[in-house]
Each structure stands twice: as C-alpha cells, then as structure tokens.
Structure 1
C-alpha cells in the first residue's frame, strides 16, 4: 500500500497509468488516455509505458496534451476523478515543461491562425474573378 501525498493517514493501492491520467484531468475520458498510451505517446521514467502500468509516487511522465508537450511528476495517487483543485494536487509540472508551455503559448498569441484573418468568409465567384489577373476566355497569349 502507498500513502497518498498530502494526507499521511490515508493509504491507497497502486493506480493504473490510464486511470491516473484520467483522474488527474489530462484526458477527458479514460479511453482517450488509453488510446494515447497505446500509440506509444506516453512515457514513464523515460520508457514507453502500457496502460496497465502501475504508477508510484515520484514517477516522471512525459506526454502530449493536444499540441503541448507536458512533463509531470506524480505527487499523489487517485482512483477517482475529482474536482480540478484535487486533480492538480496529484502532480507537479517540471519547470522545463512550464517554460516550454508558456513559450508555445506566447508564439501562438503572436502568430495567429491565418484563417482567422478572413473576415468575410469564402470569396464569391465574382471576387475570385477579380483576384485572378488573367483573361479566362482567351486561348491565345497576348500578354507579351
């Protein structure tokens, strides 16, 4: 039996990796967590892990959550998915991971998605004809 971080009187049995990722609110469902693990995208202590791997306090996890690469240390174990503050107490993100996440966030903020600059949506047929600077009805090339 392992003791849960933050509560010295409670003991808790080991937790499967997929269940812990779900309980720590990194993935919305346990099956999504298991799918990412099955694809080899989750590492425990720098080794590719299986969903059934039992976590211990102090284990280092590396995984991708969307476009963000995360690296967290296990600080607590839980079999149930609780509120966000309780889930955040289960892990501690490494300083390198926090710095990288903030750097990527700043890069996304400074370089917005090009599609978001289109204000009027898709161009009409008339707009496309104005954009195209060529005579579509002429078979000869008179533009020399």
Structure 2
C-alpha cells in the first residue's frame, strides 16, 4: 500500500476514536498535510507526509511512516508514525 485516505489513516493511527471523528476533524480544517490545510477526508496521504493536527487545545505533528489494513491496538498504531514533537524534546 503506497497511499491511504486521510480519515482512515488518522483512525488507524488512533489519533481519534472513530473514523467519523477523523472525517469531522479534517472537514473542520484542523489537519494540515505538509503545511497545507486539507478539508477533504478522502485526500490521500503517503509515507513521508507530515501531518499537523489540532486536537483539544493541543497540536500533534506526526510523520507518516506506514499504513495498516485494519485498526489495531495502540502498539500497532504507534508504528504508523513518528511523533516529531517528542523526537525534538
């Protein structure tokens, strides 16, 4: 798999609890891909893309490093991204 829908990736990476929440987050303008605001939940993300996500008074900066066919546990979700904020600290 080379690409995946943005809402699906956010859900698989456990950024949100439900795929509908992921779609709503994107549609509300709270997600940027490589610095560009994305409003379409179906937009494709690829390995290397940097996502900036505004969540409940916090911002997460995640680099896409992989994809999953299905949603797994937290450990499986953690291998889908590099957390760029925690890597700098």
Fold in common (TM above 0.5): yes
Mapped partners of 2:2, 2:20: distance in 1: 21
SS for the counterpart of 1:22 is: helix
1:5-84 equivalences under 5 Å are 12-49=1-38, 50-84=40-74
Question: Per residue, is there more helix in 1 or in 2?
Answer: 1
**Unmatched tracts of structure 2, length 5 or more:** none
SS for the counterpart of 1:62 is: strand
Count of equivalent residues: 88
- What TM-score does the superposition give when structure 1 sets the normalisation length? 0.57
Mapped partners of 1:71, 1:26: distance in 2: 11
Q: Which of 1 and 2 has greater Rg?
A: 1
Give the superposed CA RMSD.
Answer: 1.8
Q: Which runs of 4+ in 1 moved over 3 A?
A: none
Larger RCO: 1 or 2 (CA < 8 Å, sep 6+): 2
For the 8 Å contact 2:3–2:47, the answer to whether it is kept is no
**Unmatched tracts of structure 1, length 5 or more:** 1-11, 103-144
- What TM-score does the superposition give when structure 2 sets the normalisation length? 0.89
For the 8 Å contact 1:17–1:51, the answer to whether it is kept is yes
Question: Per residue, is there more strand in 1 or in 2?
Answer: 2
